[in-house]
Structure 1
């Protein structure tokens, strides 16, 4: 079913997501409520997420979405509350910038090896301040929706591994 769901910029859900994220700039209460949510359950239980979820239903999010899909939507919404700058690059590229990346190889490996979506959420939630709260809004949504081996490999290829690995 997730093949039908798209956060591509031209898709209805992509438009909604970007508009909603841009609106967080003027809606500090919603942003703060979501930023306080410490895990995916806490995100799903916020009024802010539930408002977005209702909007998503009217923009193409399936009413019969599987629980794992709704959990991924809560991860997307929860993480985007921490994003302040919509950067066109892939998140793994941003994480690996510079001679000594702010997001180390060890942290990056731990992210890719995270056993649950909650662990991925927590790792990315911690990563965003380290990389200046920047991410590609549409890309992070798509990657979280499709999180799995394929996405992890794409991230691994996008990360600029240092010539000599540091921990």
Structure 2
């Protein structure tokens, strides 16, 4: 592994591609995905592959980071196929697969409720989305991320972030 510092989306995508994507041809990947889909926090943390993900993400072991790590690993186990479109985009549009009300509930969710609603949303999107973007968004789940998801859900262009502009 190089000393190169990857963002959470890139690091998690690499982990997903190595440990979970080959599940059609690799029984170890299939078994890991099945265990993670059913896992609670302790069961997920008992998986050596989850610790590989923690290393790739430079998790320091704090409670908040550990919770994000478990959520990320378990939800990435739900994704079976990569796509260029982010999850929120796949869920919405003119004829959304996730109703506006359910999407709003998802945007307001926290903790285990967020994990449960995201798990259902991934399934509704045919277990297919942009894995790197999903990982980045889960790692940085905040109001900025939720705003981006709202625009993607409605297939609209998000306003540009002008916080980098100087007067």
Give the secondary-structure state (helix, strand or coil) at the position aligned to 2:20: helix
Structure 2 gaps of 5+ residues are 157-167
Q: Are the counterparts in 1 of residues 45 and 51 from structure 2 also a CA contact under 8 Å?
A: no
Q: Measure, in 2, the Cα distance between the counterparts of 1:60 and 1:103.
A: 30
* CA gap 1:146/1:5 in 2 versus in 1, 3 angstroms: farther
Q: Measure, in 2, the Cα distance between the counterparts of 1:82 and 1:13.
A: 14
1:140 aligns with 2:134: yes
Q: Are the counterparts in 1 of residues 83 and 130 from structure 2 also a CA contact under 8 Å?
A: yes
How far did 1:90 drift? 1.3
Encode CA deviations 1:87-134: one digit per residue, 9 max, x unaligned.
11111100014x3211111110000011x2211110011112211111
TM-score, scaled to structure 1: 0.77
RMSD: 2.4
Paired positions, count: 149
- Select the residue among 73, 78, 81 that pairs with 2:77: 81
Encode CA deviations 1:58-87: one digit per residue, 9 max, x unaligned.
43523x232111111111110111111111
Structure 1 gaps of 5+ residues are 163-167
Encode CA deviations 1:33-58: one digit per residue, 9 max, x unaligned.
11223xxxx1x322676312321344
Tell me the residue number matched to 1:119: 113
Give the secondary-structure state (helix, strand or coil) at the position aligned to 1:69: helix
Identify, as 1 or 2, the structure richer in helix: 2
Give matches, 1:93-132, under 5 Å. Answer: 93-97=89-93, 99-114=94-109, 116-132=110-126
* CA gap 1:105/1:16 in 2 versus in 1, 3 angstroms: same
Q: Measure, in 2, the Cα distance between the counterparts of 1:157 and 1:140.
A: 15
